Amino acid sequence: MKEFSIFSIWFINLLLLLESSSYAGDSSVVNPCCYYPCQNSGVCVRFGTDQYQCDCTRTGFHGVNCTVPEFWTRLRLMLKPSPSTVHYLLTHFRLLWDLVNNSFLRDTIMRLVLTVRSDLIPSPPTYNSKYGYLNWEAYYNISYLTRLLPPVPEDCPLPMGAKGKPVLPDPKVMCERFLKRKTFRPDPQGTNLMFAFMAQHFTHQFFKTDHAVEGGFTKALGHGVDAGNIYGDNLERQLQLRLLKDGKLKYQMVNGEVYLPTVSEVPVHMVYPEHIPPEKRLATGQEVFGLLPGLTMYATIWLREHNRVCDILKAEHPTWDDEQLFQTTRLIIIGEIINIIIEEYVQHLSGYHLSLKFDPALLFSERFQYSNRIALEFGHLYHWHPLMPDSFLIDGDEIPYSQFLYNTSILLHYGVEKLVDAFSRQPAGQIGGGHNFHAAVLKVAEMVIRESRATRVRPFNEYRKKFNLKPYTSFYEFTDDKEMARDLEELYGDIDALEFYPGVILEKTGPDRIFGESMVEMGAPFSLKGLLGNPICSPHYWKPSTFGGETGFNIIKTSTLKKLVCLNTKWCPYVDFHVPRNEEEAKPRKQSTEL
């Protein structure tokens, strides 16, 4: 009887196990959403075990997979030029664009550029690194990085969904095989190190991924241009950096010039190797900026600019206290940053003949939300370390990485003017096309690939479709390098399994372009939405009184990279995001020029 009872229990458990297996354990049942069946931003919802539905709401399409265009969508698609056509038009026909730039059409086209680009980024945000469906946590918890596409479903049969190899290639092998520099390849657009260091200095105010927590979290309290890299990302750090007099920031005087204070004077946390003495550890708003003299150079320039603007405001508003002077100056500095980034930095990257314009009023009549969240994908694609050269040429000296990293003495020895002049003249590397990462920064790319896999970022071609780009049909279409195409096909098995970051960084570059089509079409919407979504660009902020009157307002509207440097240095060096274009520009200048 006892044996029968044991057998009965065993038999019942077996039946229950088989029953549950028929629902959840059948390895032949594949989540249909792993095939990414829903097109044109349709949302895949799984039903039962092997059924799905595509939610095509407000996509302009209908049908089982959201592939049948509605009437107005069909008409729009017939009239709408492709991204490649638009790019071609904007980068050719200079004489025509010269006429446009001096007419009312400039504002009209600029408004169109801003709205079309910004509309690609959902606001409020949709997904984050944890959830593949809409939920309150993804919106409310700003500790998460948001994301444009949901993650690869966890129950997919293959790492990238339902296509490709069962095992992704080793990240270290990927970096050594496709990214490591053989010979330095300068950017054909003429990008220089002044641009490269601005890229790092600018983005580190909002790209602060918390690598100690797996899953796409950020340490930043803000998700946009808040100048936290200058003032610190929390109130405690800000107060330590402030002089608490006349609105100014703390500084030290070296040979009669203003420089960043040391951690001995301002005990904020900074990342320096143990062997760096306290008197050589410069303190700034971003804790990692001691890494490169190019970053401490920019930090010094912005420190000087902040204190310069404080003096201007105090002269106009003698009744203002320290707090109002500081807070108003910070808003002006944020405005200067956005203006320089749009009108010079983005302008240079785009290669457009249309002169980009920073004028928030262009959007006041448009449907636009003044908020921003940093996306996981934006942080990944912005790893532009191929910009870094093999060594650094300053005032006739060649400095290798071993003597450049964490060496704040370089800034104090050469001075801001000589660093700006040197970095403006030295070419940066081409970002796209592969084989251009210096060995010293190769581990960063490896880290991005590992992080992408941990957060299950969708394949590169899925992002191509999201940004209205035609997905590649083969690796030989993706790259002009036949050997690379063959090797990628061997490692991934299918172009639809190619990962996001290798996709944007290895994609073939156009003629005389710094990177491929995808980097432009994917990066620009994130960038412009983040810049114009800043609170100071809203109708309630964008007026003279916000910035202390017309004087402060004009500081923003007339700011340039050259002004930023030359108003805060003893003599005006060659300063630009482009290497000298002709002999006249290349001539050294020791005297200040009229601004």
Catalytic: which of 87, 204, 383, 385? Answer: 204
CB atoms within 10 A of CB 254: 12
Question: CA–CA separation, 460 vs 473, rounded Å?
Answer: 12
Catalytic: which of 382, 406, 476, 541? Answer: 382
- Residue 128: phi and psi, rounded to 5, are -135, -175
Which residue, among 335, 277, 286, 275, has the nearest Cα to 544 in the 3D structure? 335
Cα angle value 488/489/492 (rounded, 5°): 80
Taking CA atoms, 378 is separated from 145, 374, 375, 522, in Å, by 10, 7, 5, 8
Taking CA atoms, 579 is separated from 189, 191, 380, in Å, by 9, 6, 27
Taking CA atoms, 408 is separated from 259, 277, 307, 415, 573, in Å, by 11, 11, 22, 11, 21
Residues 357 and 190 sit within 8 Å (Cβ to Cβ): no
Residue 235's contacts (CB-CB under 8 Å, 6 or more residues apart) are: none
Q: Does 438 participate in catalysis according to the annotation?
A: no
Beta bridge partners of 249: 242
Which residue, among 81, 76, 59, has the nearest Cα to 68 in the 3D structure? 59
Question: CA–CA separation, 377 vs 374, rounded Å?
Answer: 9
Token digits for 108? 């009209």
Question: CA–CA separation, 353 vs 382, rounded Å?
Answer: 24
- Residue 316: phi and psi, rounded to 5, are -85, -25
> DSSP code of 46?
E
Question: CA–CA separation, 555 vs 335, rounded Å?
Answer: 9
Question: CA–CA separation, 330 vs 247, rounded Å?
Answer: 9
Question: CA–CA separation, 583 vs 467, rounded Å?
Answer: 41
Q: Does 317 participate in catalysis according to the annotation?
A: no
Which H or E element spans position 171? helix 171-174
Taking CA atoms, 372 is separated from 327, 375, 527, in Å, by 21, 9, 10
Token digits for 193? 């190190």
Catalytic residues: 204, 382
